Amino acid sequence: MRRLLPPLFGALMLLPALALADDPQGQGCGLVSGALVSQGQGQVMINCVGVTEEFGAQLAGILTYVLQKHLDPEIVITKLDEVEGVPEGDKPRTLSVQQGQTIVQSLVGTKGQIAMAADPGGKDAGDYALAIATKLGMAGWQIQGGQIRRAVLPGLEDIHGLVLVVNNDKAPPEPAVQLKKAMAAAKIFLPMIGNPGVSEGDALLWVGKRASLNAATQ
């Protein structure tokens, strides 16, 4: 897995690469040529070992977002350290006791309704969605239609992990904002995307398949 990325990402990738240099699983990313970074222009090649093509494409997209938004790489790394990773191997995704309590405490006293859908092709998607829905119910929130849909919705076919879908991600409805904050407090990464298929004022929590990092698990 190789990607050509602008030199700005040298600082972003060098720290994780050094941290993973002794990883017994042989996973990590590093610069193919550090000399290119000193030029201050052009392109550099980053080599990632032990990841799938799909995960590599997602990683390239994240780095592109960092560049386009002019984000400070050190701040990005610090924030990433606050996010809980997915379980290793084939272990199902679950909510820890602390995460569940944090979600409930963050949302209790608020009024919210959200639609939920889980990818039927994901081995743990249904149970993970149910665990989240249970905590939302404990906080007084309602699940639209009273059920978690088990269907792949248009536009979400290739989206893995948790995603919050709204009509306009630049002006999301209040329940979406509240839920995103609650999940962040629980150290759960929940990106928000816009989809015209979602009615204005509504929000959908999509529980997709878990992303595959290690090519050996495919």
Residue extents of the structural domains in the chain:
2-80, 97-212
The mean pLDDT value for 122-141 works out to 95
Distance CA(158)–CA(34), nearest Å, equals 34
Number of helical H runs and strand E runs in the chain: 7, 8
More confident residue, 21 or 169: 169
Report how far residue 114's alpha carbon sits from residue 205's, in angstroms, rounded to the nearest whole number: 7
158 pLDDT band (50/70/90 cuts)? Answer: confident
User: Which one-letter amino acid corresponds to residue 148?
Assistant: I
Nearest to 115 by CA among 191, 170, 197, 171: 197
What would the mean pLDDT of 52-66 be, rounded to a whole number?
Answer: 68
pLDDT at residue 179 greater than cutoff 80: yes
Q: Bigger pLDDT: 181 or 72?
A: 181
- Say what the pLDDT of residue 42 is: 61
- Asked if residue 127 has pLDDT above 90, the reply is yes
Decide: 162 and 186 in contact? Cβ < 8 Å.
no
Strand partners, 48: 29
Judged by DSSP in three states, 160 sits in: coil
Q: Which helix (H) or strand (E) holds 130?
A: helix 125-138
Higher pLDDT, 217 or 140: 140
Give the Cα separation of 106 and 182 in Å (integer): 5
Which has more confidence, 1 or 152? Answer: 152
